[in-house]
Amino acid sequence: MRSVTYSMGVSLDGYIMDANGDIDWGDPDEEVFRFVIEETRRVGVHLLGRRLYETMLYWEGMEQDPTLDPPTRAWVELWNPLPKVVFSRTLTEVRGRARLATGNLAEEIERLRAEPREGEIALGGAELAAEAAAADLIDEYRIRVSPVLLGGGTPFFARDERRVRLELVESRTFRSSQVVHLRYRVLR
DSSP string, 129-141: HHHHHHTT---EE
Give whole-number Cα distances, 184 to 21, 141, 168, 179, in Å: 26, 5, 4, 16
Q: Could you report the per-residue pLDDT of 17-42, keeping only the tens digit for each? A: 999 999 999 999 999 999 999 999 99
CB 40 within 8 A of CB 82: yes
Q: Could you report the per-residue pLDDT of 112-133, keeping only the tens digit for each? A: 999 988 999 999 988 999 999 9
Q: Could you report the per-residue pLDDT of 147-186, keeping only the tens digit for each? A: 999 999 999 988 777 899 999 999 999 999 999 999 999 9
